[in-house]
Chains A and B, each alone.
Chain A
């Protein structure tokens, strides 16, 4: 396999990537499903989603807020991948 593709696959499936993604999305999704289930763990996802909707609403006021789930999920994966890349780089340095 191409080394760069292999590196991307490793980052995408890194425990740091998956863990960060789950941390950003799952607590927030729980609270979105039922308000009473919001917890302090939902704060990062809450801030990302709220600020995202504020920007989106300023640019395109006619969209309903559920539309912003798509960019939210993609954005969270971007952040999680950055964390995963850092984690893989740190693991590589440690084992070198």
Chain B
């Protein structure tokens, strides 16, 4: 191979590595900082309790009460057991410290599916078990819904991940925020896009207002409790685990920030 050919190839490789390293993205964000630090008003108190105790579906619900009054938000991970980024982030959210209100987190909503690393549990897809104008279809769904009704949340966030990208890959729904009509989905998608580099244009987030007649958990919470509800979907397509977790963490922090549980603008 001629010397100039080797030089051309070597130059591209070195330039690519340099450009890649130079463009590593900062991950710090005001919402995340606010979520991780206790506020001035004092420490939040955390309580953990079992949902569906004594059954195969027993899972832990965390209730974190901030020192100041405010809205109640519920965050769900692991409705689909193989969507690890939502589970990882929900576990982290259970250790966050809101400035106001009550934060309720169920990191492993479908615990059997989470332990098996599968999308569905023993009774099929949990996120199709919350039909309109009827009781939830399974014991697990009823147990989850009982907790939702008990807390009567103002905000519900359900964390998911898809394999592809909505609009690019047929039947996939990644990099999207589905939201109830009164929720701030457009604002959330725009805030998340700050973390998506311009040179990954297909990975920009889309906001989509959901049809409330569907059988999904967040749809039932919006329909029957009037909650501002979100279903967040990141994608596995060209994003590694760390990036998916970071985007999911940002989504959770932004939702809590937008709805007044975090004081990201306040002085700390």
Please judge, given known A-B contacts A13-B1, A16-B8, A58-B170, whether A46 and B16 are in contact too, CB under 8 Å. Answer: no
CB distance from A80 to the nearest CB of B (A): 11
Complex Cα distance, B197 from A39, in Å, reads: 9
CB-based nearest A residue for B246? A35
Asked if A82 CB lies within 8 Å of chain B CBs, one says no
Complex Cα distance, B119 from A16, in Å, reads: 47
Complex Cα distance, B11 from A16, in Å, reads: 12
Size range of the interface on A? 20 to 34
Size range of the interface on B? 35 or more
Q: Which among A37, A46, A61 is the interface contact of B21 at CB below 8 angstroms?
A: A37
Contact status B23-A40, CB under 8 Å: yes
Contact status B169-A38, CB under 8 Å: no
Which residues of B are at the interface with A, using a C-beta cutoff of 8 A? 1-2, 4-5, 7-9, 11-13, 15-17, 19-25, 163-165, 168-172, 197-200, 202, 237-240, 242-243
Please name 18 further chain A to chain B contacts, defined as beta carbons within 8 Å, in addition to the given A16-B8, A18-B8, A36-B25, sorted by A numbering.
A15-B4, A19-B11, A23-B12, A31-B20, A35-B238, A36-B24, A37-B21, A37-B24, A39-B23, A39-B199, A40-B198, A49-B238, A50-B168, A54-B168, A54-B169, A57-B164, A57-B172, A61-B170
